[in-house]
Structure 1
Amino acid sequence: MIFPSDHESIQDRRRQTAQEDMYPWEQKTTVPLKILLINPPATVAYGSFKAAAKAAASPQMPLGILYIAGVLRATGHYVEVIDCDIDGFDAFSIVDEIISRKPDIVGLTATTPIISSAFEIIHQVKQKTNIITWLGGYHITALPVQTMHQSMVDYGFYGEAEATVVELANLLAVSISDPDFEQLKVINGLLFRHQGEVIINPKRALIKDLDRIPFPARDLLRNEKYIWSVPQKGFVPVTAITTQRGCPFQCIFCGAQTMFPGMRYHSIARIIDELTYITKNLGIKHLHFQDDTLTINREKILEMVNAIKKNNIIFTWEGYTRANALDEELLIEMKKIGLNRLSFGVETGNEQILKAIKKGIPKEAYHTAYKLCSKHDIETRCSIIIGHPYETKKTVRETIEFACELECYQAYINIATPYPGSELLELARQGFGGIKLLTEDWAEYRRYGNSVMEMNDLTADDLVTLQKWAYRKFYLRPKIIWYNVRRAGLKAAVLNGVAFFQSVIR
């Protein structure tokens, strides 16, 4: 029997449990702040390849910062987003724009190649104003304390930050200039300063239910500016989407495990809702699936395909996957819902190096995957890296010859860079595979036109020279030239060609 007093206590406990199960963005703030989020300029990361990067006309939508905007807006804060490359700002001109908008808080995200741009923006903002500054992203997650010491940022976020930013924003809404120290200490995933000391709070647990995160706030960007060259469509507006977080693989050059360890998935219902919003509300008909390995869960992809067909959602799309995570039946089904391009991380054409970098895919699997895509008229891209452990001039040439053997018409050729958070950085420090690490000046950590390592018979200058040679070797083949002229049209091909020569001939 439940007496009234007992009933009240049970109800109270139920309410308390429900409250504890809520994510921070599921409760409205009573004091909204004006928060400006910035995606710093990224073209600096391309070095001497800047002209080619611009001509490629494939700006990446900053999905991470849009998730942050989404949770802050859901809480009731007023949020704006600036993508510097799209909106025409460099690390200096953006500061006047920030000041003119008079935000309470300006937040930035940064990977290692653009961390110097983020530092410059934060430095100028703090020199000229008393605006509170935030910094999140891969770099600060890998190097939390060092990044706080190297910059003038007020608050940093490491790891998955949606809940952390909302808890901090709500606390700052109460007292932005002098928040309670004891309350700051209990915000997991937060970095801040107290009496000159950097405080690193405990790591925040990963979000269990990805479906409860609001959609990325794509409407805060100029969506019409995100234009890609799309097979059979020409240049069209594109947006990005993710259906999962994490990657189960351990490639030594990648830091994905640092930010999102393990694997978590959105439900099919959530994916359908987001696809419907993108295609109907935003009117965007080509999507870039940014999952690290889209087809890692074969049954889930087939379930998604069936749901898209059932709901009659019409769009074209592309994504990344592994050569050994694709089969003909799956490819046919994905094409039925608009798949027209797949990208594979080939990385190297040398079997010893494939094992050393923990790629775990035999060369023959790449031939099979590319032939399948060619058979079903799916355009393909590949990502190549030169400068791995055990790399030599001979293995670089072997890799590029291998890429040219594949039925692939577009390639991204990178110089191996030991980013913080990757196993490669520690291996480079140890001299693994003949590597000599030349610097830990993060401003030099670009994978185009620069190398921070040398190995065996390869100097840093050799790697830059070979990168340019590799691009020429791959693209200046008659079948590739003709393919890209037919695909992009003569005018675009000429413009791309000029930019290409500016980048790889000089």
Structure 2
Amino acid sequence: MRIAFIYPATEFDCLHHAVSLPMGLLYLTAMAEQLSGVEVDIFDVRYGPAAPSSEDLPRYDLIGFTAMSMQVITALKIANDLRAKGCRVPIVFGGPHASVATDHLKEQDCIDAILVGEGELTFLEYLKYLQGQPHKLERIWLRDADRTWRHFEGANYLENLDDLPLPARDKYGDVVRDTSFIDVTSTRGCPFDCTYCQPTKRAIFGNRVRRRTVPHITAEIRDAIDRFGIRSFAITDDTFTYNKRFVLDFCEQAKAFGLQWSCQSRSDVDRETLVAMRDSGCDLVNVGVESGSQRMLDLMNKHNKVETNEAFIQMCNEIGIRTWCNMMVGYPGETRADMDMSLDFVMRARPTISIVSQVTPFPGTHVWTSHKDELLATGWDDVARHVRRAKFRSMEPLQPAIDHYMTLITRLEGGRFGLEMVGNSKLARFLGRRSVRIYKTLAKRMKWFDEQLAAALNAARAGRVDEGINQLKRLMTLGYKEKDLFGHLAWLYFSTGRPEEAEPLYRQLLEIDPGNEEVLRQIEACQAAKKSAVPA
């Protein structure tokens, strides 16, 4: 039996998820190829054709799709195109959308089977069913000969995740070698009940958390090092840090790899665990803060505190682990004051990266069902956090504010927060809130400044110090009074033997940032350098 799995990457996936492999399909592929005579090909438009060609189509006995809700329109278009090309073999859908919006897929004539929830065991039994072998169908919808649907209930989840084979990364071998990076999953399931993702996660992975053992995970990493030469990995499941003893055991084993790695985490992790993570190579933690308003965290059922989130990020900063802070705006009932609290939170906590998404009601989640009457009509491809538009009728009047705060709270690594792009002042906040046009003008001005500052520093690094100094002086004559500008120009003067020109700049910098000990030390160094230059 030859199977074609199709990952229906959207345009957004191609632009922003170019190195994120479909782990669900890779596990399904590895499980399926354990059966005698089964071969699997994966089609993914990011790296090749989106689907089998008309010439190759007769080679396949089964076509399988995975899809999130934002991908399902792309998936259905491909499936219908295959039918139009004469495909007569079963077309099967699985994945998140199939698990939480099953009725939508049951309406599609092109589909013959729908797998609900975790797919490995269900898919294996379905293959045995197709091959006429003894089988036990569970958590699957099948069409009978008259095209009516028949449901096979069940709860056949893998009890022991160590029974999973290693994911079939060889299907993307060149990609893994080129990126030297893999995603790793350590657990399935989540014990929390956040309104924006539950109970859909339970619909997919069941009601309890299951965990792979540390040796099973490290064997996967070692295999990827040996076969693909990876230099880093990311642990992508939500509950990796949920069990402290497990994390400490993993960190002790991971030291031997000498790799950089990252993970997702809640903020209720202690210093001992974070230090162990850092010492084993963890250099980035992705934390779902979501809001700086305690009222909003409670509405989201986060079971967490603003103070805990802030202390966690600051502890990571102290320890030397970068933080990727995920924030949300636009939750039903959220006000401008709540959004302002989120802005104040990131400015206080100073995460390395701050990414903001608009709250999106995914099918089957609590926020979907509790606000179903006010959901604004949309296509499935709009069910995505990156889509900026009103999602709830009650929040529609606040959409300009949502857009505004999404920009202000965002910070990319090495860059500024959106608020800092216009100046962190009461006037800048006031103007930005009252007029998006004014905000965009100010932001454009600061973006230009950042580009010019970078060009000046690059010139200095390349040995063209005087050129860099002149570019920085020009920015000052144009009225820019940024701390970075004074600091860089003063340092260039000092490092090229001109302390008499550096000291006034450091003193101006001290007026902007009173009490800065580093600046005080530089002033003393300038004074000492001037004294040593005076002839005896």
- With normalisation by structure 2, the TM-score equals 0.72
Number of residues paired by the alignment? 419
Q: Which structure has the greater CA radius of gyration?
A: 2
- C-alpha spacing 1:464/1:152, structure 2 compared with 1 (3 Å): farther
Instruction: State how far apart, in whole Å, the 1-side matches of 2:52 and 2:40 are.
Output: 17
> In structure 2, what residue type is equivalent to 1:83?
D
- 8 Å CA contact 1:60–1:226 kept in 2: the answer is no
Q: Residue 304 of structure 1 is aligned with which of 250, 255, 259?
A: 250
Deviations 1:192-236 (A, max 9, x none): 112231212103321101111111111111453687xxxxxxxx4
Displacement of 1:246 in angstroms is 0.9
- Indicate the residue corresponding to 1:30 in structure 2: none
Deviations 1:133-157 (A, max 9, x none): 1110011111223322135211110
Instruction: State how far apart, in whole Å, the 2-side matches of 1:39 and 1:57 are.
Output: 12
Displacement of 1:400 in angstroms is 2.5
- Indicate the residue corresponding to 1:443 in structure 2: 381
Q: Are 1:36 and 2:4 counterparts?
A: yes
Q: Residue 113 of structure 1 is aligned with which of 44, 57, 70?
A: 70
Instruction: State how far apart, in whole Å, the 2-side matches of 1:98 and 1:429 are.
Output: 45
Q: Residue 196 of structure 1 is aligned with which of 135, 147, 151?
A: 147
Q: Are 1:323 and 2:323 counterparts?
A: no
> In structure 1, what residue type is equivalent to 2:172?
L
Instruction: State how far apart, in whole Å, the 1-side matches of 2:262 and 2:20 are.
Output: 13
- 8 Å CA contact 2:343–2:408 kept in 1: the answer is no
> In structure 2, what residue type is equivalent to 1:445?
V
> In structure 1, what residue type is equivalent to 2:357?
N
Q: Which runs of 4+ in 1 moved over 6 A?
A: 478-483
Displacement of 1:313 in angstroms is 2.4
- 8 Å CA contact 1:145–1:200 kept in 2: the answer is no
- C-alpha spacing 1:83/1:130, structure 2 compared with 1 (3 Å): same
- Indicate the residue corresponding to 2:169 in structure 1: 218
Q: Residue 411 of structure 1 is aligned with which of 319, 334, 354?
A: 354
- 8 Å CA contact 1:279–1:315 kept in 2: the answer is no
Task: With a CA cutoff of 8 Å and minimum separation of 6, indicate the structure with the bigger relative contact order.
Answer: 1
- Aligned-CA RMSD value: 2.9
Q: Are 1:336 and 2:279 counterparts?
A: yes
> In structure 1, what residue type is equivalent to 2:211?
Y
- Indicate the residue corresponding to 2:393 in structure 1: 454
Q: Which runs of 5+ in 2 are unaligned?
A: 424-445, 459-536
- With normalisation by structure 1, the TM-score equals 0.76
Displacement of 1:102 in angstroms is 3.0
- Indicate the residue corresponding to 2:28 in structure 1: 68
Instruction: State how far apart, in whole Å, the 1-side matches of 2:176 and 2:219 are.
Output: 24
- 8 Å CA contact 1:253–1:423 kept in 2: the answer is yes
Deviations 1:47-92 (A, max 9, x none): xxxxxx83x676322111111011001123101122322x155xxx
Q: Are 1:83 and 2:47 counterparts?
A: no
> In structure 1, what residue type is equivalent to 2:313?
Y
- Indicate the residue corresponding to 1:256 in structure 2: 201
Q: Residue 294 of structure 1 is aligned with which of 236, 240, 247?
A: 240
Instruction: State how far apart, in whole Å, the 2-side matches of 1:251 and 1:164 are.
Output: 27
> In structure 2, what residue type is equivalent to 1:35?
I
> In structure 1, what residue type is equivalent to 2:42?
V
> In structure 2, what residue type is equivalent to 1:270?
H
- 8 Å CA contact 1:387–1:455 kept in 2: the answer is no
- 8 Å CA contact 1:393–1:457 kept in 2: the answer is no
- C-alpha spacing 1:361/1:250, structure 2 compared with 1 (3 Å): same
What aligned pairs does 1:211-290 form with structure 2 within 5 A after superposition? Answer: 211-224=162-175, 236-254=179-197, 255-260=200-205, 261-290=207-236
Q: Which runs of 5+ in 1 are unaligned?
A: 1-32, 46-52, 176-182, 228-235, 431-435, 491-506
Instruction: State how far apart, in whole Å, the 1-side matches of 2:404 and 2:55 are.
Output: 39
Instruction: State how far apart, in whole Å, the 2-side matches of 1:342 and 1:101 are.
Output: 46
Instruction: State how far apart, in whole Å, the 2-side matches of 1:387 and 1:159 are.
Output: 29
- 8 Å CA contact 1:95–1:124 kept in 2: the answer is no
Q: Give secondary structure in 2 for the equivalent of 1:455.
A: helix
Percent identity over paired residues = 22
> In structure 2, what residue type is equivalent to 1:266?
R
> In structure 1, what residue type is equivalent to 2:39?
Y
- Indicate the residue corresponding to 1:169 in structure 2: 127
> In structure 2, what residue type is equivalent to 1:188?
E
> In structure 1, what residue type is equivalent to 2:154?
K
